[in-house]
Amino acid sequence: MTQNKYVLNWIDEMAAMTCPDKIVWIDGTNEQAEALRAEACSTGEMIKLNEELLPNCYLHRTAVNDVARVEGRTFICTSKKEDAGNINNWMAPEECYAKLSKLYKGSMKGRTMYVIPYSMSIVGSPFAKYGIELTDSIYVVLNMLIMTRVGTNVLEALGESGDFIKGLHARADIDEENRYICHFPEDNTIWSVNSGYGGNVLLGKKCFALRIASYLGRKEGWMAEHMLILGVEYPDGETKYICAAFPSACGKTNLAMLIPPELYRKNGYKVWCVGDDIAWLRVGEDGRLWAVNPENGFFGVTPGTN
């Protein structure tokens, strides 16, 4: 898949620690995704829903002790405590690596390690940032295929560079007492262990696109923010964009998916969603503020809720 020595050496190192039975590279093709869906259905990990009522839909249940992002088990690991931010949990990098290495040791025995090369933002774009997530979960693979841009073109865009975010996820025992989601901004590294739940294990989302990207943005002169992006076109053709940050659970995603009332629609107003959750912002050469949604898919909201 790649000759990049930084990528290959890191995968070898992580595989030596986690001891998977085999390693499978994810290529972004529908054929491979279909095979993984079939495998997950054959083991009972996923259930295919009624094809007529809900075409191409599957049910996946997380463990009962593993149904939310766990802020109390989420750490930013920087050499200086003040660099972790004033509302984040901090742990010294050496202490965290030592603690988690024990939990990862042999955690993929009898399992497959999947290698997911992915891009936040469009591959090849000047805004794009690349990552590779190693995981032992088909659920993670299938969701990363929805949420990010996955494929061999990511490896081609990365070339021989070592400039990528290294993500390691292992379900291990889904032990909530030993559940950790840890970020090492100075090492471009994310480690997640003992969870199988979305926000804790889809490492391109909160972990990379917000936490690690905030650090990268501070270093490089841009911002990663928890914001929706909404496009509005007026009847005269003028287009404006709204970028908005709300606290959790107060309607950010619902606003992002706004459908204008019938009266406005009839008068020629158009509204569309650019992003529902994360915005990367920078001031352009024209002095204006520009925003891009680094994600590719939606984490999900039930239509018609308010």
By CB neighbour count within 10 A (0-12 exposed, 13-18 middle, 19+ buried), where does 100 fall?
buried
Give the pair of three-digit tokens for residue 34.
Answer: 């279909």
Give the whole-angstrom CA distance, residue 294 versus residue 163: 17
- Helix H or strand E encompassing 168: strand 165-170
Query: Among 114, 96, 118, which Cα is nearest to 18's?
Result: 114
Structural contact between residues 35 and 24, judged by C-beta atoms closer than 8 angstroms: no
Instruction: State both tokens at 177.
Output: 């007492």
d(CA 102, CA 286): 51
The Cα angle at residue 41 between residues 40 and 43, in degrees rounded to 5: 70
Q: Which helix (H) or strand (E) holds 180?
A: strand 180-184
Q: Helix (H, G, I), strand (E, B), or coil: what is residue 91?
A: coil
**CA dihedral sign, ordered 120, 122, 123, 128:** negative
Out of 77, 207, 250, 273, which one is annotated catalytic? 250
> Known catalytic residue: 250?
yes
| CB 144, CB 116: distance < 8 Å | yes
Distance of alpha carbon 48 from alpha carbon 37, whole angstroms: 9
Active site residues: 250
